[in-house]
Each structure stands twice: as C-alpha cells, then as structure tokens.
C-alpha cells in the first residue's frame, strides 16, 4: 500500500485563523477578515493598502498563511474605509482570489503573534484510518514536536541564507539572497524583470535606482525583512536544540538549570530541589510542564551558564552565531524561550469520506506547523507545502 500523503490542491489544505481577541467594533483600525487562495499574505496586505489608499506599514496581520491553501485570516488597516474594500480585486496581482468575509473595527493594529492558533482541515490520500488515528492518539499523549517548518527559512532556505550573510555583515551576499533565492545572482548581473511583493520588491526597487548600494537596498526593505531574517536564524537554532535534546532523551526529563514552561505559558528555571517533581509533571499523558529551547536574543530568560553552553554547542552546525542578535547588530532581537512540545488546542478528529479521502481536522497553537504534525504522523507532504 502507498504511503499516506497530503492531497494537492488548496481545497485539501484549509486553515482558519483563531485571533487572540475579537474586534470591539470601535477604533481607528478597520479589521477585515479575508478568505484567500493562491495568494500569500503580503500580496493581500499590499492590495488592501492600495485599495484603501494607505501605506504598506498601515496594514497589519497576526500571522502569515500559505498561498497553496484556502486560508481565512484577519487584517487591520489604519484609518481604513470599509467602502473602499469594494476595489480590492482591482489591486490583486496574480491568479488568486481574496474575498471579504467580515468587517469590524478595533483600537489597535494587528501585529505578528496576535493569534490564539489556527484550525486546519486536511485531505489525506492512501490513508489507513486506524494507523492515522493511532498516530493522532500518540501525539495527544506525547505532545507535538514544536519544530519550525521549512517555510520559516524561505524558498530553498533563502531567508536563512540571508540571515547568515546579514548577521556577520556581508551585505552584498544578503542582497543577493533576496534578489535570487536560488543563489545564482551576483552584483553586476542584470536584475530580474517582473514585480515582487513586500520587502523583496522594495529591495529590487532600490537596486533599480542605485544598483551598487547594498546597504541602501536593505534599508529600503524596512524592519519586516530584518525581523524575518532574524527569525529564520533563531528558528534554525531552536530546531537544532530540539533535535539534540530528543536524541539525548531530554524531551520529558528536566535538569536543574533548564528553562521549563508551564501549560499556561509561563517559563521558569528549574531549581535543583524541584527536578524530580518537574520531571514527573513533564511525563507523556500529563505534559503540565515542558522543556524549552532558545530563540537567542538579549533579554530572554536564560538557563544556567552550563546549559546555555550546551545549547550553543548543539546549534553550532547551523552556522548561526548567537552574537548576531545582541546590541545594535542588524538582527538584534530580544529573543525568547519556545516550548519544545505543544498539545492540540482541541481533540483532533478523523473522518473517511465516500471518495476515500481521509479528513483530519485539528486545532493547533500559534506557531505550530501543520506540515510538521503530518511529518510526525508519517504522512508525505508535497514540496510546495514546505516553502
């Protein structure tokens, strides 16, 4: 029998955003719920800005959604006018669609992370429902490895390559990673034709005005691209630490000096006297406490020096230098601790349809990748779902 696989097509990958809070109906920010297909989040944000006569920085959203999906998500537009949304379609580039589902208002701009989680409805072919169901039961008991998916690192890893050039100050290589994610373009080569959305488009626009100014091109990209690059590098460190802890048998065992996290999300450093109790509460089936991994930065809660040294060694093969995130460096970040394991926000369900398609419905916490859950279930994921 063939291995189970995620079916191609947006209809088999439906994601619905669960906001961290509901709009109040009042405020200077227009909140718009969009259903999109065949478009990435930046494309929709750009079209909303143009339709409402606003700058790109006036549009906010809580998270990015796959263009190869049917995705519902909220956007905010500072001083947006609901009547102008009628012209949204005129400003969309490409073959995708964006439909307005709901409109409201709120006092603040939506920002990355203003998100409780996402609900998914996934279509799986060649699935044995008993095996998939057993796999879901295992993840409910043991937790989901909270890995960052390849999407975090850009097309072909280009965003991570950008970070690994920008961090140590190689601005030319950083710009090259933006201009051509395949890595073939070099300064002096003709710039690629065509239109780009978001910060990548601003980099190209700056280069077309002054093609030898790498620093100016990166400045034109704005803070969004810098944060994306820093996040990609931090995510590579986190994944390496997760893999190393799992290999060392430390996913469910805490040590004195580790940074653990309660189910409520509160992190704490494990005291020597509490090791046995914390480890008991971290057991599969309970998961009242979980270990964390680093997203390096200046102000994050730190483990003891011995354990931080161990984490730095575990992540050395990524090529990411933790000093890139400190002080006035381009990738400066406060950092944080991220749980190595997470749980479903609601019990997942599995149904078999008349056409033989197996449907998985699951609710995941913010930052948890559905493609990573499928990997842990042994379900093949098409390459276009991996960035």
Q: Which residues are catalytic?
A: 66
Q: What are phi and psi of 276, to 5 degrees?
A: -65, -45
* Nearby residues of 321 by Cβ (< 8 Å), 6 or more positions away: 167, 168
Q: Are strands 29-37 and 70-78 parallel, antiparallel or unpaired?
A: antiparallel
Q: CB of 268 within 8 A of CB of 254?
A: no
Which is nearest to 117 in space by CA: 152, 73, 156? 73
Paired residues of 76 in beta bridges? 31, 60
3-class DSSP state of 65: coil
Query: How would you label 117-138 residue by residue, b for 16+ Cβ within 10 Å and e otherwise?
Result: bbbbbbbbbebeeeebbebbee
3-class DSSP state of 150: helix
Paired residues of 260 in beta bridges? 268, 291
- Residue 370, Cβ neighbours under 10 Å: how many? 23
Total residues found in the chain within this entry: 387
- Residue 268, Cβ neighbours under 10 Å: how many? 16
Query: How would you label 156-192 residue by residue, b for 16+ Cβ within 10 Å and e otherwise?
Result: ebbbbbbbbbbbbeebebbbbbbbebeeebeeeeeee
């Amino acid at each position: 029998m063939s291995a189970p696989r995620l079916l191609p097509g947006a209809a088999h990958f439906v994601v619905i955003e669960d906001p961290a809070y509901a709009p109040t109906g009042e405020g200077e920010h227009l909140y718009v719920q969009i259903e999109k297909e065949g478009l990435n989040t930046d494309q929709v944000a750009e079209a909303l800005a143009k339709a409402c006569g606003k700058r790109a920085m006036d549009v906010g959203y809580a998270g990015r959604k796959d263009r190869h999906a049917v995705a519902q998500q909220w956007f905010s537009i500072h001083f947006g006018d609901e009547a102008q949304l009628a012209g949204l379609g005129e400003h969309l580039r490409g073959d995708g669609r964006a439909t307005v589902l709901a409109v409201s208002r709120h006092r603040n701009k939506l920002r990355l992370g203003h998100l409780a989680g996402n609900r998914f409805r996934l279509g799986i072919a060649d699935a044995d429902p008993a095996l998939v169901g057993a796999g879901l039961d295992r993840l409910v008991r043991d937790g989901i490895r909270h890995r960052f998916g390849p999407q975090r690192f850009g097309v072909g890893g280009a965003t991570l390559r950008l970070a690994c050039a920008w961090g140590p100050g190689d601005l030319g290589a950083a710009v090259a990673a933006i201009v051509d994610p395949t890595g073939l373009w070099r300064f002096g080569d003709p710039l690629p034709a065509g239109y780009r959305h978001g910060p990548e488009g601003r980099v190209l626009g700056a280069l077309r005005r002054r093609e030898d100014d790498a620093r100016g091109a990166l400045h034109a990209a704005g803070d969004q691209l810098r944060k994306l690059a820093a996040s990609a590098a931090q995510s590579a460190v986190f994944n390496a630490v997760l893999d190393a802890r799992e290999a060392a048998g430390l996913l469910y065992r805490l040590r004195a000096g580790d940074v653990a996290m309660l189910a409520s999300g509160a992190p704490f450093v494990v005291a020597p006297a509490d090791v046995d109790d914390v480890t008991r509460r971290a057991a599969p089936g309970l998961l009242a406490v979980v270990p964390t991994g680093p997203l390096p930065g200046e102000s994050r809660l730190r483990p003891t020096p011995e354990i931080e040294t161990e984490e730095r060694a575990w992540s050395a093969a990524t090529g990411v230098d933790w000093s890139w995130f400190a002080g006035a460096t381009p990738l400066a970040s406060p950092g944080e601790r991220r749980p190595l394991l997470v749980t479903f926000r609601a019990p997942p369900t599995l149904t078999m349809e008349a056409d033989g398609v197996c449907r998985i419905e699951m609710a995941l916490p913010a930052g948890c990748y559905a493609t990573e859950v499928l990997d842990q279930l042994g379900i093949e994921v098409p390459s276009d779902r991996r960035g």
